[in-house]
Amino acid sequence: MKTDDLIGSLVADHANPPASPRRTFAYAAPPALLGAILIFSYVLDMRPDLGDALMSWRYLFKVLVSASIAAFGLMLLFRMTKPQHDPAADIKWLALALAPLAVSLALETLMLPVDRWSASAMGFNPEYCVTLVPLIGLVPLAAALVTLRHGAPQSPTAAGAIAGFAAGGIGAFIYALHCDNDSPFYVAIWYMAAVGIVTLVGAVAGRFYLRW
């Protein structure tokens, strides 16, 4: 094929420009969030003492930790859509996303007697957390991957991982409405394991789905 002929076909295709990542996200995010909330409400209930929990610093930190992961994850997601963006530059932002977790862990080591550490870290039914956070995060992960697909990420694997990180944060944020294990020790182990699972799934998916 002559290069000029190829150009001719590209010009012929120019009338239907693809949607930008931002626009794709604007369409994909609301249904994805709705899907995540529907899955949550189908499988789980809100904790009955949510009002009291909102007065507890441990619970608030749990919400903040999840929100921080989701918010920084989404910010990094948009950076990743640009081919000139080097993912290695984002390590510091990831560290910042986890800063609330570090602060809450430091507080908990000061506040909680050592003999209660292990019981707090294990909580009740951690297997629910590790399976349901990824389940709730699945639809947001799909929306994040579709957004990236409309971009041109330099590293498809890293971009997919960030999509998973953000989606894991969203899953954790919603799951926190139900979960009554509030110790930062528990959050650091089980919530982070759950976010890690979604991150891993995102990385593997991105490696294949986001190649360009």
Partner 1 sequence: MSDLEDELASWMRAAQAGDAAAYRRLLATLADMLRRWVRRELARQGYEIAEAEDIVQETLLAIHLKRASWDADRAILPWLRAVTRHKLIDNLRRRGRRIMVPVDDVLETLAAPEPEQTLSADALDRHLATLPPGQSQVVRAISVDGLSPTETAQRLSLSEGAVRVALHRGLAALAAAARRSET
160: contact with partner 1 by CB under 8 A = no
Contact yes or no for 194/171 (Cβ under 8 A):
yes
* DSSP conformation letters of 149-201: HTS--S-HHHHHHHHHHHHHHHHHHHHTTT-----HHHIIIIIHHHHHHHHHH
Which of 151, 160, 164, 171 touches partner 1 (CB under 8 A)? 151
Of 2 and 92, CB closest to partner 1: 2
- The rounded distance, in Å, linking the Cα atoms of 26 and 31 is 10
Contact yes or no for 113/177 (Cβ under 8 A):
no
Of 7 and 46, CB closest to partner 1: 7
Of 151 and 171, CB closest to partner 1: 151
Of 93 and 209, CB closest to partner 1: 209
Kindly state the number of chain residues that form the binding site for partner 1, as judged by CB under 8 A: 31
Question: CB under 8 A: which stretch of 16-24, 35-43, 90-98, 103-111 binds partner 1?
Answer: 16-24
Contact yes or no for 47/180 (Cβ under 8 A):
yes
- The rounded distance, in Å, linking the Cα atoms of 199 and 73 is 10
88: contact with partner 1 by CB under 8 A = no
Please list every residue from 89 through 148 that binds partner 1, using CB under 8 A: none
Which of 54, 99, 120, 212 touches partner 1 (CB under 8 A)? 212
Centroid of chain to Cα 167: 3
1: contact with partner 1 by CB under 8 A = yes
Which residue ranges make up the site for partner 1 (CB under 8 A)?
A: 1-21, 81-84, 150-152, 154, 211-212
